[in-house]
Amino acid sequence: MSSTTLPVMHDHASHDTSSMTTLGFWIYLMSDCLIFAVLFATFGVLAGNTADGPAGRDIFNLRYVAGETLLLLLSSFTFGAGMLSAKAGRRNALLVWLAVTLLLGAAFVGMELHEFAALIHDGAGPGVSAFLSAYFTLVGTHGLHVTLGILWLGVMMHQVFHYGVDEVVLRRLNCLSLFWHFLDLVWICVFTFVYLREFL
């Protein structure tokens, strides 16, 4: 009797830990959200304090930002498609989707680094004004999150490659999926309030 009830119990218990893990990770994400909220508030307060340095409309290129946005949006979609492959147990399709997501994410970080380098080269570095300090902190923190997400993507690809899509891997992929989509949400606020708002 114990041999027939135990697997069911075990299955239930593991399902429970999985949903608890997701909830816990979600609560972490919400605390991360508060970090970004504080950085956005700081940026909002300091956006006008250019200290005779360049203002946003002098240095930002909206076409470039639209490109970055497209990359991140596409990567969100490819990750979603990857999660569906993972749930269906299609390991190879999952690996391909994860690789595409990783490349799109890396391209985004590359574009952002290029943008930062160009700004600093043109004399609009983080030390020039309160506005630029707040800008580099906010956008840089987002970029750092994406970079860590890419690292995590690489680790998960390695795990999927070696262990296949088992329950543990699926749980971790679920958390990474929340993280990745969350970064897309933050970017929506960045392009609206940091970039577009400068050109009103």
Partner 1 sequence: MNTSLPRATSSHTQPDTNSGMKSYVIGFVLSLAITAAAFGTIMSNAVPHPWRLVCIVALCVAQLLVQLVYFLHLGSHPDQRTNTAVFACTGLLIAIVVAGSLWVMHNANVNMMPTHVTVQGAMSRE
Which residues would be at the binding site for partner 1 (CB under 8 A)?
Answer: 7-8, 10-11, 19, 22-23, 26-27, 30, 33-34, 37-38, 40-42, 44-45, 62, 66, 69-70, 73, 76-77, 80-81, 83-84, 87-89, 178, 181-182, 184-185, 188-189, 191-193, 196-197, 199-200
Q: Among 138, 107, 125, 137, which Cα is nearest to 59's?
A: 125
Q: Among 109, 191, 92, which Cα is nearest to 150's?
A: 109
Q: Which is nearer to partner 1, 88 or 117 (CB)?
A: 88
CB of 121 to partner 1, least distance (A): 25
How many CB atoms lie under 10 A from the CB of residue 9? 10
Amino acid occupying residue 191: F
Q: Using CA atoms, how far apart are residues 80 and 28, in angstroms rounded to an integer? A: 21
Q: Which is nearer to partner 1, 25 or 136 (CB)?
A: 25
CB of 123 to partner 1, least distance (A): 25
CB of 13 to partner 1, least distance (A): 11
Residue count (the chain)? 200
Q: Which is nearer to partner 1, 124 or 165 (CB)?
A: 165
Q: Which is nearer to partner 1, 45 or 113 (CB)?
A: 45
Q: Which is nearer to partner 1, 5 or 121 (CB)?
A: 5
CA distances from 4 to 9, 10, 17, 20, 94 (A): 9, 11, 21, 25, 34
Q: Using CA atoms, how far apart are residues 35 and 145, in angstroms rounded to an integer? A: 12
CB of 33 to partner 1, least distance (A): 5
